[in-house]
A and B are shown apart, each in its own frame.
Chain A
Amino acid sequence: MVAYILKRVAGSIAILLLIMVVTFLLMNAIPGSPFLTEKSTPEQIALAEAKYGLDKPLYVQLWNYIKNYCVGDLGTSLKMQEGTPVKDIIFHQGKFALSIKLGACALVIAVLIGIPLGCIAAYYRGSWIDGLLRVLTTVGVAVPTFVLAALLLVVFSVNLNWFPTLSGSLPDAKSYVLPVISLSFYYTCYIAKLMRTSMLDAIHQDYIRTAKAKGVKTHILVLKHALRNSLIPVITYLGPVLAGIITGSFVVESTFSIPGLGKYFVQCVLSRDYPVIMATTVVLSALVIFMMLIVDITYKLVDPRITLTAKEE
């Protein structure tokens, strides 16, 4: 297991390097410049680009990025907070922490509600409960986040005044409620749907029939035997979910005025703030890679038949 983890970590570094190269090439392939405004002249743009080393050949710029990243220097923002170190923007200003806090809460809610809902729907398959849950989850997957967020804001903040309209830096429990619901609703519904299908599949397996024949009680049958095997597809889904929740939190952060990273992840591309694009991409990629590693290890724990390394075969 340790050898496997070490191997994966080494592989992750290579993947991150590849992501850096691809991101760098892509961001330089799209037209525009961070210094291009309706009032800027070509001379000004050239001067500004020279100031930040953007006039150097691409391979030199890329090498500088890699070199600096190795010593933990993520560069300086060119546009969004001109002159501010990107590391400060992401970490010290609390943007990453805010997005992670929000994302983690949304993920936990999605798992804690989605999985039981899926089990219940599968357990009561064909009943009105199953029908109701199916309608609910289908609606949940279909409703765009910005619609749900706006609806929650107007109803619960403006009209009922139960929650603040400005969640800000999430200072208290109340400020979490609406953003977390908005962010987790889609994933809760999706996980519930996934869980239902997976559970139904498991229930019809031979070992369940055998257990049933042996007189195992239904709730134990579901919770102990079927649940464990039905979790595999859900676990697979969880890795990318966290990244999706963070990068996809743009709308929620904007609607509830939360100064998180999701907003930056989108805006830095639009404003061509190259160092911020690189840094947010690398940080989020590292997060996804880490989550995927955790997911892979969790597989093994949930289903010992799964092999992680060639040796184990």
Chain B
Amino acid sequence: MKRIIALLLVLCLAVSLFACTTSTPANTGTTTTTDTTSTTTNSGSQSANAGTTDNSGKTDTTETTVAEKFVVNACIASEPETIDPSTISSVDGSTYTQHQFENLMKYQMTNDNPAGDPNMKSTEIVLGQAAGYTVSDDLTVYTFTLRDDIFWSDGVPVKAQDWVYSWQRLVDPATASDYGYFLDNIVLNAYDIYEENTKDKSELGIKALDDKTLEITLEAPCAYFLEMCAFASLVPLRQDVVEGSDNWTDPANIVVNGAYKLTEWVHDSYLKMEKNEKYYDYDNLGPDEIIWWLSDSETAIYSAYQSGEYQFIESFPSDLTETLQASGDCYINPYVGTYYLYLNCSKVTDWRVRAAMVLSVDRENIVDNVTQQNQSPATGFVASGILDSTGADFAFGVSELGAIYNTLSTMYPDADLSTYAGRCELAQQLYQAAVDDGSWDPNTTVVYNFNTSETHKAIAEACGSDWVTVLGLKISLENQEWATYTNGLGEHTFGVARLGWIADYNDPVTYLELLVTGNSYNYGLFSNEAYDAKINSAKAMLAGAERDALLYEAEELLFGEGGFPVCPIYYYTNPYCAQGLTNVAYTTMGYFFFQYAQPAA
């Protein structure tokens, strides 16, 4: 009897352990099979086409049968929260969207090489699904005419109404999109619909005049509107598709109008896209398949790259950057983004203390010794790479010194702000003045919050050390996990807090409007009427010298008397490793495009 019970128990244990295995649906099995096949297939094609990777005989058996298939294996991020264009907010989500959907305008590859890598091309904005457009005399009404040869992947023609639905869905508060604000004060009534909730989404300034003609009415002329028309959150969507199923982005349900279509999604493993036969430029597309591997482990990603399983990665141990650059694997693309610190104006109330903090940070030391990814020390809040109307880099438009130091160099002509020593000297002078007149208590401890990350921690330590050494400021560094951290940002409980901002479009406003009074990202609670007026005026003007001047003046106000709500640290870069690929395209907003990629010669 005892033996029987023992036997039963063992059986019970075994069944319990493997019960879930048997309950796995058939599609997982299929997926698994495909997983293997795709990996092997790629290796095979890679060795056949690219001839650059060492597969050590792994692919011998399949090479002859699948050598014709060109598969790109890339890893740019972990599992996306969503790939619904209306609710995406990450660069990887936007990249997937840019491959699956095409907007009125699109990013097209040029012959320039942004990072000196001959296999990586720059992009420019050109007509996408639109065949052309006209603009009214007052520059507020754009009328787009759509191409005749554009179809959704199920064969249904793409119509102007698809943009109307998509844009209305984006600004609809019920969608709760992170980018719901994107059309605020640009497209007619967007602000009232999304922010004020006083108008219905149907009143948005977009309407389909007929199936092929789309009219968009703006609040005021907008210098960067055409660039916005290439943005991932504004791609067309089919109402019947989006509302036709519980999960319309599932490979079984999704219908796209771009070059590639999602055919398989193994969550936390990979997204597989194949060429969309209905795409108008189908014949010229490159890869037969693009597999986006989903991983957040640098070790795993880099190992897969080393073994040839990935051809493109964006994440790898940063201490290998120099070695990989030397071997020709890694290049560093420009990236329009600023890493900066909020200095809470309600906690560090004296602007001279904030200025002293901004001046005494040794940015060169941080980029050379802490982050080590070829970033440039920031000289202003607007990221390098954002251009003014003349095409000059806004970050250096006024002087080589940059916005942080321009106003101070006028106020304190004797100070040498071109050197770190000179900046420290002025910082000490400003700090001491604030202490002397009693507006700053030197015993106050400033709390520096950062979210969990080795890099953020190292930067916080470097800044804290500079402030203690140069100013004698008391600093407390506090690490928080992301959700707690963002909660603290919104409640303005910090003294100093870090953030990075990647540009949404190439215009200084994408940065400067963040610090306007009442803006939800104005976490440091900065408020300056003159600044607000300049930004609001500039937003309603067309690109030109007058607008440029307003924006330059606005940024200088940020770093003048009463200002310094932020402490810019560095401008981002975007390192990547690629092997066996050419004709990969890149925009400085951080998107990589593989639609026209080819095996490297």
Contacts of A83 in B (CB 8 A): 82, 246-247
Min CB gap A103→B, angstroms: 8
Q: Tell whether, in the assembled complex, residue B24 and residue A94 are in contact, meaning their CB atoms are under 8 Å apart.
A: yes
Contacts of A168 in B (CB 8 A): 32, 35-36, 39, 266, 269-270
Contacts of A89 in B (CB 8 A): 267
Q: Tell whether, in the assembled complex, residue A82 and residue B81 are in contact, meaning their CB atoms are under 8 Å apart.
A: yes
Q: Tell whether, in the assembled complex, residue A44 and residue B180 are in contact, meaning their CB atoms are under 8 Å apart.
A: yes
Q: Is B243 part of the binding interface, using a Cβ–Cβ cutoff of 8 Å?
A: no
Q: Which of B5, B309, B487, B499 contacts A32 (CB 8 A)?
A: B487
Interface residues of B in 164-180 (CB under 8 A from A): 173-174, 176-180
Interface string of B489-525 (1 = CB under 8 A from A): 1100000000100000000000000000000110000
Interface residues on A, range: 35 or more
Assembly CA distance A100 to B89 (angstroms) = 33
Q: Tell whether, in the assembled complex, residue A254 and residue B297 are in contact, meaning their CB atoms are under 8 Å apart.
A: yes
Min CB gap B544→A, angstroms: 29
With A93-B28, A255-B299, A301-B9 given, is the CB distance from A31 to B487 under 8 Å? Answer: yes
Q: Is A65 part of the binding interface, using a Cβ–Cβ cutoff of 8 Å?
A: no
Q: Tell whether, in the assembled complex, residue A169 and residue B28 are in contact, meaning their CB atoms are under 8 Å apart.
A: yes
Number of A-B residue pairs having CB atoms within 8 Å of each other in the complex: 180
Interface residues of B in 286-321 (CB under 8 A from A): 293-297, 299-300, 303-304, 306-307, 309
Q: Tell whether, in the assembled complex, residue B300 and residue A94 are in contact, meaning their CB atoms are under 8 Å apart.
A: no
Q: Tell whether, in the assembled complex, residue A41 and residue B56 are in contact, meaning their CB atoms are under 8 Å apart.
A: no
Q: Which of B56, B82, B297, B300 contacts A82 (CB 8 A)?
A: B82
Assembly CA distance A254 to B306 (angstroms) = 17
Min CB gap B501→A, angstroms: 8
With A82-B82, A171-B35 given, is the CB distance from A270 to B266 under 8 Å? Answer: no
Assembly CA distance A158 to B55 (angstroms) = 10
Main secondary structure of the interface of B (DSSP, over half): helix
Q: Which of B174, B267, B269, B490 contacts A42 (CB 8 A)?
A: B490
Q: Which of A47, A100, A150 contacts B21 (CB 8 A)?
A: A100
Min CB gap B588→A, angstroms: 19
Q: Tell whether, in the assembled complex, residue A37 and residue B486 are in contact, meaning their CB atoms are under 8 Å apart.
A: yes
Min CB gap B195→A, angstroms: 7
Q: Is B268 part of the binding interface, using a Cβ–Cβ cutoff of 8 Å?
A: yes
With A30-B484, A81-B267 given, is the CB distance from A47 to B307 under 8 Å? Answer: no
Contacts of A158 in B (CB 8 A): 303, 306-307
Q: Tell whether, in the assembled complex, residue A259 and residue B9 are in contact, meaning their CB atoms are under 8 Å apart.
A: no
Q: Is A40 part of the binding interface, using a Cβ–Cβ cutoff of 8 Å?
A: yes
Q: Tell whether, in the assembled complex, residue A259 and residue B269 are in contact, meaning their CB atoms are under 8 Å apart.
A: yes
Q: Residue among B12, B20, B295 with the most chain A CB within 10 A?
A: B20
Q: Tell whether, in the assembled complex, residue B173 and residue A257 are in contact, meaning their CB atoms are under 8 Å apart.
A: no
Q: Is A104 part of the binding interface, using a Cβ–Cβ cutoff of 8 Å?
A: yes
Assembly CA distance A97 to B17 (angstroms) = 9
Contacts A94-B24, A97-B20, A154-B303 aside, 13 further interface pairs with beta carbons under 8 A come to A38-B499, A44-B177, A83-B82, A92-B28, A94-B31, A158-B306, A171-B32, A255-B297, A257-B269, A257-B304, A259-B266, A259-B267, A297-B9
**CB<8 Å pairs between A and B, sample of 29:** A31-B487, A32-B483, A36-B486, A36-B487, A38-B486, A38-B521, A44-B177, A47-B174, A79-B81, A80-B79, A84-B247, A92-B25, A97-B28, A101-B20, A149-B299, A158-B306, A161-B56, A165-B306, A166-B39, A166-B293, A168-B36, A168-B39, A168-B266, A169-B31, A170-B32, A257-B293, A257-B300, A297-B9, A301-B2
A binding-site residues for B, Cβ under 8 Å? 1, 30-44, 47-48, 51, 79-84, 89, 91-97, 100-101, 104, 107, 149-150, 153-154, 157-158, 161, 164-166, 168-172, 254-257, 259-260, 263-264, 270-272, 290, 294, 297-298, 301
Which 3 interchain pairs have the tightest Cβ spacing? A32-B483, A259-B268, A41-B520
